Amino acid sequence: MAYLRQPEYVQYSCSCGSLKSISKIYFCRHCLSIRCGFCVCHEVDSYYCPNCLENLPTSEVRLKKNKCSNCFDCPCCLQTLSIRLGQSFSVSSQSKSEEESKPTTKKVYYLSCSLCRWSSRDAGIPDQTVATGSWKEQENPYSNRVNALINYYKILASFEKQQKERKKFHIKRSFLQFEKFGITSAMARKRSGRPPLTQAQNQTVTTPTPSVAEENVDESLSDLFTKSIDITRTTTIDQRLQHPELQADTIDKLRPQKKQFIIKRSQRCRTCEHNVSKPDYCSTSTKFKIQLAAYYHLPEVRIVTYEPLQFGKSSELLLKLSNPTQHQMQITFLSLETPVITTTKVQGVVEEINKERIQMGCDSPNLLPSAIRQTAVIEEVKPIIVVPNGEILLPNSSFTLPPKDEAAEYDELNVPQNFQDDPKVVVWRNSNKSVIRLHVLPDVTKSSGDMPETVIVGFVMQFSYINTIATLEHKTPQKLDLRVKLYLTLDNSSKIARTASMLK
Amino acid sequence: MSALKEYKGSRYIAEKQVLVIDVGHAYTKFGFVSEAAPRGIVRSEIKCPNTDTIRNIFSYKDQNDLYELLVEFLHNIFFKRIMISAKDIKVVNVESPLVTTEFRNILTKVLFRHFEVGAIMFLPTHLVTTCTLACQTILVLDVGYEEASVIPIYEGVPILKAWQALPLGAKAVHKTIMKAMQEILTEEECTEKLIEDIKVRTCFVTTMERSAKLLTDNPPTPPPNVKYFTKRSLEIPGTVRESAFEKLWERDLDNLSIPTMILDSIIKCPIDARKPLAENILLIGGTVMTTGFITRLKSELEHIVNSEPYSEKLTLRKFKFHTAPSKPNYTAWLGGAIFGIAADLPSRCLSKEAYLETNHVPDWVCLIDNRKDDGENIEY
């Protein structure tokens, strides 16, 4: 599967305008469009510790500040610390009085980094008698003061909230307010000798003691000019920022940090709110509950080989297409300018399908009806930045890819299917794959003089897709023609081009 | 009754975590409201998805470029660092009032359009740091990476007229070190990261007396050299260590430096406000954490105020400094985390609905939002 990570020679255009290889995109079966990491909504699914794989419910994770209680990171090199077992000789107070008793050995635990050799003993942290749970984190020295400030502002915020609510209340019955607090009523009260109506006093807020500015700034600088610094004893900025509360400046002040949890994410299509990817909750499992990767739904295109590209001369380009679905696929190549729309054939008449309508039709019982759902926030479609600098000569005829058959791969007596292929286009065929021949013509006008290093060509591929999701409108599988825009990057200096010339 | 109130208050906080983020030019601080320290401080840089190089988010070419950088950067913070679903949460954005409108608008756009956050509360850095001290009158000096800025706050109101800013921050310091280390470091070694490491681990701000002698014929004995290890071992001269921060105190062509910024700012304030401001100075930003910075600033201030032209204009001779309950590099963040409690109130936030309707971010420089006649709209 090494090709998944290689430079992206074949890029699919996502519905948001980003260009990505097929291994990085999703295909939402509900809106029938391509989605990618940029245009889906990411959600945190479950938390787990990357070291001990313990997973906890969200509420508990929040309480523990996203940190594992058992695993620690080395403050020095940020790797995971291991818990080591040591022995200590101790003389208990009781045995002191009885002189004949021997010192007893006790099991003790300390933390140690196997990478940089940092250990909790070096830092002067006492050994623990229990392996986990007893390691204390350093307290923030300012926490009391900050908590006092926070409480004060909490009270202020709730006051403001009350005031806002009271205001609303008054507006509703403004005529009563006039009676009660108006000038006339105040005068009347004064005349009758009653005390004026004061507004209900707010509860007094105990303001925290304001900080006092100091005139003396005590920094001892005297030895700064004479003392030499051991660079290995001073911490780097990364080590300091690992623990923002303390930001220790020397190595011996560093303390182990609890390991941060990491998360499993699920991805949701922003238009129809269906999941396109949902991992298994269990942290030890690498499987997915839902995985609508484009790899399982769109025909995959790979560059097999091509002739060295030359100006004014068309070069052969061989592409391998494979059909990952369980249904036969009809593939047609169209020019880059063709609009990317979804069509269906109803009794031989081509009909365009509005994507909005598909979504309306596919309200599944798991989701809120579309009328109640929040209106989706749609980002603007990014402009495609790639400018093709070559032309691709596409065949007019379409051809068929048979469905993927898992068993066929092991069956050596593979019966070749009879397809009425144009031998000029289809070069080779095997089960659900076939190699086709196209021609590329580098564009002279767009590049000045020299032959460019890479030639980018683009086209629109139309393929038939069977929508198996039963909807209210379509109970039976619906046959659709989907289109996807593809960009091929042909590297003129690459090896593939040279091998092609050798093949000739 | 009061117990009930408190219960109510804590319930509001427990409902949804409010993210506080302070995007700085060099480091971004992030964490949750009503916590005493940020969850993390990371470099404001990200691997660019198109070119696969590490880029600072402020190194953008155009708006689209910035949009993509911010999407990548915030995605990393949301899902790798702070681990929270971004959708419909509240965000407190602590920002300098001097941040460019372009950056501000794009950041808001990314948060609302890409991450679909529920509401954003904008807090100006200088003003919000007053929350960490429970004081109402403070002169805030923020020395960050890109620039140093001063905004005095009097009785809870920023005196914007008296703002001062100079490009004297960590960047200027790095340039000085880079120049001084030119002969020792090879060109490919001379990265900002290495320079920063040298600065943080070995350099300091020298005293005013020594600094005056540095450029004379009879300089004081430099501090000892420091052995430093990269892929090879090298020695950092004591002179480099001592003079790294001199740039911040030297007067530039306009006769300005960090101490004159403070004094100029005080001069621009009303006469009654001057003394309280000079006696309530708060230093924030990563650069002020350097050893000797505050001592030097104090002696410089006392020296300059006694010399022309300030000795005529100002009668004050005393300067006092506050210590915030935090490290200076995240004091502004802490202010956001404390004041962010008010993010519960819809009137203090910009909600997603309001933004999507108008596509406009309220800003103090914009006359649509900042009109004299209706005080309600003034954000701060």
pLDDT in tens, A89-110: 765 555 445 555 566 778 888 8
Write down the pLDDT at residue A94. 53
In chain B, count H helices and then E strands: 14, 15
A210:B135 CB<8 A: yes
Residue A354: pLDDT band by 50, 70, 90 thresholds? low
| Nearest beta carbon to residue A244 from set B41, B196, B220 | B41
ipTM of the complex: 0.88
A158:B78 CB<8 A: no
Angle between helices B2-15 and A143-172 (to 10 degrees): 100
pLDDT tens for B64-86 read 899 989 999 999 999 999 988 88
Q: What is the pTM of this model?
A: 0.87
pLDDT at residue A208 above 50?
Answer: yes
Write down the pLDDT at residue A139. 82
Residues of A in contact with B116 (CB under 8 A): 41, 377
Write down the pLDDT at residue A95. 46
Residue scoring higher pLDDT (A180 or A317): A317
Contacts of A85 (CB under 8 A, 6+ apart): A107, A108, A109, A131
Query: Which of the 8 DSSP states describes residue A473?
Result: S
Residue B122: pLDDT band by 50, 70, 90 thresholds? very high
Pairing of strands A342-346, A349-353: antiparallel
Q: Tell me the mean pLDDT in the region B336-354.
A: 87
- Report the SS3 class of residue A353: strand
Write down the pLDDT at residue B15. 66
Q: Tell me the mean pLDDT in the region A162-170.
A: 75
Share of chain B above pLDDT 90, in %: 61
Q: Tell me the mean pLDDT in the region B353-379.
A: 73
Q: Where are the alpha helices (DSSP H) in B77-152?
A: 101-109, 125-128
Write down the pLDDT at residue A210. 85
A489 to chain B nearest CA, in Å? 15
**Where is average pLDDT lowest: A212-221, A447-456, B34-43?**
A447-456
pLDDT at residue A178 above 70?
Answer: no
Cβ atoms within 10 Å of A74's Cβ, excluding its own:
24
Chain B: residue whose CA lies nearest to A213: B322
B253 to chain A nearest CA, in Å? 30
B131:A240 CB<8 A: no
Q: Tell me the mean pLDDT in the region A56-69.
A: 88
Pick from A9, A67, A226: nearest CA to B83 = A67
Share of chain A above pLDDT 70, in %: 75
CB of A58 less than 8 A from some CB of B: no
Pairing of strands B281-284, B138-143: parallel
Task: Give the number of beta-carbon pairs within 8 Å between A and B.
Answer: 183
pLDDT tens for A447-479 read 555 667 788 889 999 998 888 776 656 667 778
- The beta-strand segments (E) located in B172-321 are 226-229, 233-236, 281-284
On the 0-12 / 13-18 / 19+ scale of CB atoms within 10 A, B33 is buried
pLDDT tens for B166-180 read 999 999 999 999 999
Write down the pLDDT at residue A448. 55
Q: What is the mean pLDDT of chain B?
A: 88
Q: Tell me the mean pLDDT in the region A409-437.
A: 76
